[in-house]
Homo-oligomer: A and B are copies of this chain.
Amino acid sequence: MENTQFRLAARPVGMTKDSDWQVTREAVRELADGEVLVKTQYLSLDPAMRGWMNEGKSYIRPVAIGEVMRAGGLGEVIASKSARFAVGDQVAGGLGVQQYWIGAADDRSAALTKIDTRLAPATTWLNTLGMPGMTAYFGLLEVGQPKAGETVLVSGAAGAVGQTVGQVAKQLGCRVVGIAGGKDKCDFVVNELGFDACIDYKGSDVRAGLKEHCPNGVDVYFDNVGGEILDMVLTRINLKARIVVCGAISQYNNTTPVKGPANYLALLVNRARMEGMVVFDYADRYHVAVAALGKWLQEGKIKSREDVVRGIENFPQALNMLFEGKNFGKLVLQVA
């Protein structure tokens, strides 16, 4: 049995190119005691992956040159020499960009956990019930701390994290405004996800949109994009506003220095704060978020939208879709 793998061949400059990847094919080896073999079904493609490819100190060690690219995924246990997992178990974990994951059942970096595909479809476990959902839930509740009646603004509103941020904020009784690229995404965000409004940053004037749709200012801004939009939002924040720094997708492929928020002194004027979050800090409470989000999903109160690209061979192009805004919903790569 052959395992196709994408390994990091070079540290990308700007957008990743084909030459940044090395495709290897190796035979799947025999299992040792305590190990399991997982056949990858779906991989999660996330903006954060671009950061993992860079050198330098961050919240997680960089992927090494020659190493299989890190990625979260879902798969099926197809062989097991561990009592923890049985053949046929559906699992989520750090499977990497490859067709098969092999390793100790209790490997800490893979952190395999069983998932229940009766509660939600498999791809939802990479979205609302996976890392994006956990990021949205804890980032919004713990860092953003929205109160009913407040205005919550979220960028990347049709994306994996943004869709759940906005829908959870609606459940909390907030006015929710999204920012997304293109009319189709904005229509989806309003009509399907139930946001109060959505500003099309590609087809309209964001500054005017903020004035129109956030007439009482912005109390919580959940930022996935950074850059110019963050700067515009800073001019609209309220007293004691909270800006959740979740990501800055507009800046991840920069070959020039990151654009810092020139209007950051709005934090002073408004006694506001800007705070970073990393989802892993909340790992011991993921089950709380899965329970809450799972219930809302089952009750039809929130929705989960994934954009599935097929074929592991399409991994490089699929990853770049994130940075071109071409995905519509949580981007997932179907491997098997």
Contact = CB atoms under 8 A, between A and B. Distances in A.
Interface string A118-160: 0000000000000000000000000000000000000000000
B267 A274 contact: yes
A226 to B, nearest CB: 8
Nearest to A275: B273
Contact of A273 (B58, B247, B276, B278): B276
Interface string A243-256: 00111100100000
Contacts of A306: none
A269 B260 contact: no
A174 interface: no
B248 A265 contact: yes
A277 interface: yes
Contacts of A191: none
B264 A257 contact: no
A28 B199 CA distance: 57
A271 B281 CA distance: 9
Q: Taking each of A247, A260, A267, A270, which has the highest tally of chain B beta carbons within 10 Å of its own beta carbon?
A: A260
Interface residues of A, number: 33
B268 A260 contact: no
Contacts of A261: 260-261, 264
Interface string A226-253: 1000010000000000000111100100
Contact of A276 (B258, B270, B281): B270
Nearest to A256: B262
A265 B246 contact: no
Interface string A261-301: 11111111111111111100100000000000000000000
A251 B274 CA distance: 20
A179 to B, nearest CB: 19
A260 B272 CA distance: 16
Given A231-B260, A260-B259, A260-B260, A272 B265 contact: no
A329 B246 CA distance: 40
Residue of A58, A258, A263, A264 with highest tally of chain B CB at under 10 A:
A264
Nearest to A231: B260
B278 A274 contact: no
B57 A269 contact: yes
B268 A245 contact: yes
A258 B262 contact: yes
A257 B247 CA distance: 24
A268 B262 contact: no
B265 A245 contact: yes
Given A264-B264, A269-B276, A274-B274, 16 more contacts: A59-B268, A245-B267, A245-B268, A246-B268, A248-B265, A259-B262, A260-B262, A261-B264, A266-B276, A267-B274, A268-B277, A271-B275, A271-B278, A272-B275, A273-B275, A274-B275
